[in-house]
Structure 1
Amino acid sequence: MENNESLSILEVVTKSSEYLERKGVPNYKIDAEWLVAFVLGCKRMDLYLRYGEILGGNILSKIKTLVMRRGSRIPLQHILGQVQFAGLTLKSDNRALIPRCETEFLVDILHNRLTANFNGKIADLGSGSGAIILALCSMMPHATGCGFDNSQKAISLAKENLSFCDQEGHVCFKEFDWRKQNQLPEPYDLIISNPPYLSHDEWDQAEPEVKMYDPSNALVAQKQGLSDIENVIEVAINSLPPKGYLALEFGASQAEIVGDLLTEGFTFEIMADQFLIRRFVLAVKK
């Protein structure tokens, strides 16, 4: 796209998609649409009603700049400065892991199982951007929640999202390191966690967006990806009352091992994500 060109929105999306595809970007067409919509200040789906609209000059230059940034494998969410998660719009940058769509599925499972009337205390271990705890407490307005993380950078981002979602007084964020502490400062009725579960080999094979922009300590764990899962289960055993809930996300090959770790202290159900991969467990403390 040249600055003196005039192109339809359809042509811009097509050229941008082709460029991103050549750069190896996953979901290149959707990403191109998001970038064009962001510059135009409209919803992505609205583009389909505006395909014939002609763009030129400054607008094309802005789109080209963003598309080239995405082609360099900067995450889409960092370019836009935000991410959509479970109905919330959250700030997104390199202070914390970008929330994944699979994790939204776990949030939906809990909402459906516990219902909007759940009025207990929720702890989110490894809360990162705050996406999980903010989404749950927005869906369960009678509950209160606290996100725990060992990263001050992640906590600062989560607090910005807390203010952005207008949930002060309903949710808080505190520092906690499950590698050094095996119990939360007070009991909770539900503990949820998406802990690091990649092995070092899996990290080596990750996409550039992940390796270059996501904090490795939010994704990679020792003992072939299992050490932080073990720590979270220990914290849950020490911090939940009998019949308290533990909800975990784990790696695609870890379901049997996670089940073994939970057998002694919990009854549990392992569930698949939207891609039919066994990725979640909902456990009840014995």
Structure 2
Amino acid sequence: MMYGAIEAGGTKFVCAISDERGELKEKISIPTTTPEETLEHVFNYFDSFELSAIGIGSFGPIDVNPTSPTYGYVTTTPKTAWKNFDFLGAIKKRYAIPIGWTTDVNAAALGEVKKGAAMGLSSCVYLTVGTGIGGGAVVNGELLSGYGHPEMGHIMVRLHPDETFKGTCPYHGNCLEGIAAGPAIEQRYGKTGHELTSDSAVWEMEAYYIAQALMNYTLIVSPERIVLGGGVMKQAQLFPLIRQEFEKLMGDYVELPPLEEYIVPPALGDNAGITGCLLLAAEQLTN
């Protein structure tokens, strides 16, 4: 038995296969261009395997409501070529096997709760802070979704007293993603995050915003652990700054684990999403 996985990102698709135990055997990376070009490469890869199921974690927004006429579509994405594209339908048309469908960050949350930093727990929030900001959650062992899926990167947060930047989000301006994602940092300061590593004021402001988001997720979802991934979070100095700001904001209002255990980096690193997609594939045969 072999499982396939697609971690569909706005910049690249990662495709992988695993054995029957869900262990990653190999993976490839494909640039995200148009649906036709990208999926041609995906099909060329998977066609050489006898797969039992596939798990897909996709960039979004996507339609995850099985009762919706556009279930399986990528919907209002800023990537024009993928807007209102029937992604799941295209994969199902090619492969007549069970296929799991969720967001890329939900998949990463699943990976971390089953095999990573939240292993042994029944809930976690996974937030990626990179080119964009997105969050997924596992609650009572299940991926969180309802009419739609969480869009944790687009919550509104209180602006820093020194903030003058208007934000990059085309929908909401200075939402969390609009003022704290990688492109916002670059446009605010005129330099990439890598060039600003030693500038403490940059990361104190970043922590100010991320800590507010984590406070909101904590008070609403009450996860057992929060995992922070993505390119921006590779600035290791962010973690103590976020924990410090988070503690100040929470003000001992609710009981929490020690913050070094509560707000953590991903144990699976860049493999969190693809691991979750493989687990999602395996779940299609057990549910």
**TM-score if structure 1 supplies the norm length?**
0.34
From the two aligned structures, give the one with the greater helix fraction.
1
- Name which structure has the greater RCO, CA cutoff 8 Å, separation 6+: 2
